[in-house]
Amino acid sequence: MIAIGERINGMFTDVKKAIADKDKKVIQDLAKRQTEAGATYLDINVGTAAADQAATISWLVETIQETCRTPLCLDSQKPDVIAAGLKAADTSNGILLNSSPLNKKSDEDVLDKYIEMAEQAGPEGKLITLTMDKNGVPQDVDTRVAIAAEIVQKAMEKGFATDRLFIDPIILPVNVPNAQIQPTNILDAIGQIKYLAEPAPHITMGLSNLSQGTTQRSLINRVFLAMALSHGADSAIVDVLDEKLMDVLATTEILLNKQLYSDSYLKAYKGR
Amino acid sequence: MPVPKIAESFKGSVSRVTLGATSQSGGTRTSTVVVGGAGNVVYGGSSDQVGERPVIAMDVLDSPPDDWSEHLAKEYADVLDSPGAWAKKCVDQFGAELICIKFDGLHPDKGDKGADHAVKVTKEVLEAVGVPLVLWGCGNDEKDNQIMPKVSEAAKGENCLIGTVTEDNYKSLTAIALADGHNLITEAPLDINIGKQVNILAADMGFPLERIVTFQATGALGYGIEYSYSIQERQRLAALSGDKMMAMPSICDVGNEAWRTKEAKTPDAPQWGDADKRGPMWEAATAICLLQAGTDILRMRHPKAVSTVKNFISELWED
C-alpha cells in the first residue's frame, strides 16, 4: 500500500507551533520518524497555521528536504500554494499533489490546473483527486463513481496516465447523524472506481477523518483500513506512527496475497 | 497467435551484486563478476531491463569425490586431488567465470577434514586462479560453524560469495561474512516463505540486503525442477513488485543435482542413449530451464554442459 504520512499538518498543535516558531527540528523529526515507520509519501499541509500559506509550504518543503529524501505530498486546495511548494520541491524522487475536485463553482478549471502541475513535476508527478464537484460532496455511491469517471476521462483527454491518478472517495466521520451508511458506500464506490480505467487509478482516502470525534479513533481507523484494502483501495493518508495500524496494514497485505508471508513479516514490512 | 508485448513497468528490480575484488579494491582477483539487475520478467520488457548476463560457477571439490559418475570424473581425472589445478583447468580450458569451492570433505560422513585443510585449499585456489570465488560449506551445521569462519578469514578482502546460512543456522557465518567483507548465500528448502524469512534474519543482523544471493534449493530435470522453477519465478515477481526482502539475485546448484539422477549417472542403459552424452545433456537441460525461470548463477560440473549453456546464454543475452 502507498502510505501517505499525515502528521505534518498545521492542524496538529505541535506542527502549528513549529511553524509559528520556525522550529525546524520538530518538522524534521516528524519527517524522519514517519519515513522510518514506512511512509511512502509525507503529506504537507499548512492548514490554518500561517497566514501566508505559499511561503509556509515552501519553508516546510525546504526544511524536510534538508534531512529527508522521502517523496512529498503537497496538500492544499489552493493551486498557488501547491505551485509554491512545487517550486521548492526536489521532484526527482516523485511527488504527489493533494488534491483537486472535478470542478468548483469558483473555479471550473481547477482540475486542469492540478493535472498540468502534476504533469510538469516530471514523470513521477502524481495527483490526488476528490469525488466532489461544484455541487459538493456526494453522499451516494453512484454520484461518487460518476464523478470519478469524469475525472478519469479528463485525465485521459489530457494525456495524463491513469496510474498517475489517485481518487479519494471522501470519507466522512462515522458519528455524523444519519451518515453511518457512508463507510459502506465508500467501499462500494471503491469496488467500482478501480475498474474505470486500465491501468487502474490508485484509490486513497483520508482515513483519520472517519473516526473524527469518536471515542475509539485508532480502532475504527485500523478496522476500516483492512476493509478498504480488501475492496481495492491501495493507498491511504494515515498516521503511520500508529504501530498497530501499520501492523494491520502489513497483515492485510499478507492475507490479500500482496506480500509474501514470512514469520517476521511485520519486521520486513517496516524495513521496506 | 501474436506474441504479447510485455511493456509492463514494475516498481522494483533485482539488486546487483558484485563478486570478487581486484587490487584496486583490496583483493587479488584479476576479474570481477556482476550479477542481478533485472527489471522485468525473463526475456520481458526493453533491453535496459534485462539486467546482467547469468554466469556459471564451476564446481571444484576440496577433496576427490568418491561418488561421481565415471563419465563426469574422467574429465577431471588429472586434477581431482589438486583443487588449485582443478580450478585452473576450469578457468583456462572451460572458461569458468567463477569457481565454487564445495567443501564436501568437511562433512563427518565424507572425510571429516579440519580447518587447516580447508584454509589450505582456499589459499591454493585463490593463488591458482584470478576469477572470484564461491565458498560453499558441507551442509553439516556444526562443522560449517566451526570451519567456514576460518575459510572466510583466509579469503578476507576477496569479496567472495560465501554460504550457506539457513533459518536455523545463520548467526556465525553471517557475522563472519560481514566482518570479512564477503557476500552471503541464504538458503531455504524450496519454500518461498522461509526464503524470505532467512533474508530478514540476516538483514536483522546488519547484513546489507544488496550483498545477499539466495539459494532456494534446486531440483533437477525430472526430480522436482518444477518446484525450483516456480520458486525462482515467484522470487523474481516479488522483487519486481518492490519486496526488498526478496530482491536478490539467485544461485542454483545444477551440477550436483543433475548428476545425482539415474538418467545422468547410470553407465549401462543403452535404451537411454550414449552415457557420455546423457549426463551433460541432463545437466544442460536443467540449467537452461532454470535460466528461463530467472536464476542468475548456475553451479555446474561437466565441461560439455558448461559449453552448451554458455552458448545458450550468449545467444539470448546478446551484448
Q: pLDDT band for position A179 (50/70/90)?
A: confident
- Closest CA of chain A from B193, distance in Å: 5
Tell me what pLDDT residue B145 has.
Answer: 96
Residue A232 · residue A191 · CB < 8 Å: yes
Q: pLDDT band for position B270 (50/70/90)?
A: confident
Q: What is the dihedral of CA B300, B305, B307, B308, to 10 degrees?
A: -120
Which of A255, A260, A263, A267 to probe by mutation at the B interface, max B CB count within 10 Å? A260
Nearest to B133 by CA among B121, B145, B144, B142: B121
The neighbouring-strand residues paired with B55 are B297
**Are A260 and B246 in contact (CB < 8 Å)?**
yes
The CATH number of domain B31-318, selected from 3.30.70.980, 3.30.9.30, 3.20.20.20, 3.40.190.10: 3.20.20.20
**Cα atoms in the Cβ-side hemisphere of radius 13 Å centred on A10:** 20
Burial string for B169-200 (b: 16+ CB within 10 Å, else e) reads bbebbbbbbbebbbbbbbbbeebbebbbbbbb
In Å, the largest CA–CA distance within chain B is 62
Tell me what pLDDT residue A267 has.
Answer: 87
Give dist(CA B23, CA B16) in Å, integer: 21
Q: How far apart are the first and last CA of chain A?
A: 11
Count the Cβ atoms, other than its own, within 10 Å of residue B239: 25
Residue B5, pLDDT > 70, answer no
Across A216-238, average pLDDT: 97
Burial level of B317, CB count in 10 A (0-12/13-18/19+)?
A: middle
Place of cell 498516521: A239
Which of A162, A264, A266, A272 to probe by mutation at the B interface, max B CB count within 10 Å? A264
Place of cell 534538508: A66
B246: closest chain A residue by CA? A260
**For residue range B250-264, what is the model confidence (pLDDT) as tens digits?**
999 999 999 999 999
Q: Is B101 on the interface with A (CB under 8 A)?
A: no
Percent of chain B residues past pLDDT 90, beyond the cut = 87
Written as nine digits, the cell of B238 is: 516479488
> What's the mean pLDDT when you consider all of chain A?
95
Across A244-253, average pLDDT: 96
Q: Helices A24-36 and A53-65 meet at what angle, rounded to 10?
A: 60
Across B287-310, average pLDDT: 97
Nearest to B95 by CA among B313, B316, B317: B313
Q: What is the dihedral of CA B291, B296, B301, B307, to 10 degrees?
A: 60
Closest by Cβ to A271, choosing from B192, B203, B234: B203
Across A127-151, average pLDDT: 96
Alpha helices in chain B (DSSP H): 70-73, 83-94, 115-128, 141-154, 171-180, 192-204, 225-240, 254-258, 262-265, 275-293, 303-316
Cβ-proximal residues to A60 (8 Å cutoff; 6+ apart), any chain: A8, A19, A27, A44, A46, A85
Across A225-232, average pLDDT: 97
Q: pLDDT band for position B319 (50/70/90)?
A: low
Across A32-40, average pLDDT: 95
Q: pLDDT band for position B34 (50/70/90)?
A: very high
At residue B89's C-alpha, the angle toward residues B84 and B94, to 5°, is 140
- Higher-confidence residue of B212 and B11: namely B212
Q: pLDDT band for position B1 (50/70/90)?
A: low
Give dist(CA A39, CA A211) in Å, integer: 21
Residue A80 · residue A55 · CB < 8 Å: no
Q: What is the dihedral of CA B174, B235, B8, A199, to 10 degrees?
A: -100
Give yes or no for a cis peptide into A199 (omega within 30° of 0).
Answer: yes
Strand order of the sheet with strand A2-9? A202-203, A165-168, A125-130, A95-100, A72-75, A41-45, A2-9, A235-238
Across B9-17, average pLDDT: 91
What is the amino acid identity at position A34?
Answer: Q
HEC-encoded secondary structure of A223-272: HHHHHHHHHCCCEEEECCCCHHHHHHHHHHHHHCCCCCCCCCHHHHHHCC
Q: Where are the domains of chain B?
A: 31-318
Chain A positions in Cβ-Cβ contact with residue B242 (cut-off 8 Å): 272
Tell me what pLDDT residue A160 has.
Answer: 96
**For residue range A5-29, what is the model confidence (pLDDT) as tens digits?**
999 999 999 999 999 999 999 999 9
B235: closest chain A residue by CA? A260
Percent of chain B residues past pLDDT 70, beyond the cut = 97
Chain B positions in Cβ-Cβ contact with residue A267 (cut-off 8 Å): 200, 204
- Higher-confidence residue of B215 and A49: namely B215
Nearest to A205 by CA among A269, A115, A144, A116: A144
Q: pLDDT band for position B288 (50/70/90)?
A: very high
Q: pLDDT band for position A70 (50/70/90)?
A: very high
Written as nine digits, the cell of A85 is: 511548494
- What SS3 class is residue B45? coil
DSSP string, chain A: -EEEEEEEETTSHHHHHHHHHT-HHHHHHHHHHHHHTT-SEEEEE-TTS-S-HHHHHHHHHHHHHTT--PPEEEE-S-HHHHHHHHHH---TT-EEEEEE-S--SS-TTHHHHHHHHHHHT-TTEEEEEES-BTTB---SHHHHHHHHHHHHHHHHHTT--GGGEEEE-----TTSTT-TTHHHHHHHHHHHHTTSSSSPPEE--BGGGGGTT-S-HHHHHHHHHHHHHHHT--EEEE-TT-HHHHHHHHHHHHHTTSS---TTHHHHHHT-
β-strands B33-36, A72-75 pairing = unpaired
Tell me what pLDDT residue B316 has.
Answer: 87
Written as nine digits, the cell of A16 is: 502549528
Tell me what pLDDT residue A178 has.
Answer: 84
- Higher-confidence residue of A53 and B319: namely A53
Residue A101 · residue A133 · CB < 8 Å: yes
Tell me what pLDDT residue B3 has.
Answer: 60
**For residue range A254-270, what is the model confidence (pLDDT) as tens digits?**
999 999 999 999 988 87
**For residue range B59-80, what is the model confidence (pLDDT) as tens digits?**
999 999 999 999 999 999 999 9
Closest by Cβ to A260, choosing from B193, B201, B203: B193
> What's the mean pLDDT when you consider all of chain B?
94
CA distances from A254 to A257, A260, A264, B136, B230 (A): 5, 6, 12, 33, 19
The neighbouring-strand residues paired with B161 are B134, B183
Give dist(CA B158, CA B181) in Å, integer: 8
**For residue range B185-208, what is the model confidence (pLDDT) as tens digits?**
999 999 999 999 999 999 999 999
Closest by Cβ to B196, choosing from A258, A260, A272: A260
Which of B8, B11, B197, B209 to probe by mutation at the A interface, max A CB count within 10 Å? B197
Tell me what pLDDT residue B98 has.
Answer: 98
Residue B178 · residue B191 · CB < 8 Å: no
Tell me what pLDDT residue B6 has.
Answer: 54
**Are A268 and B200 in contact (CB < 8 Å)?**
yes
Across B170-196, average pLDDT: 96
Across A34-58, average pLDDT: 95
Count the Cβ atoms, other than its own, within 10 Å of residue A66: 11
CA distances from A157 to A121, A129, A161 (A): 19, 16, 10
Give dist(CA B240, CA B132) in Å, integer: 28
Closest by Cβ to B238, choosing from A260, A265, A271: A260
Q: Is B245 on the interface with A (CB under 8 A)?
A: yes
Residue B4, pLDDT > 70, answer no
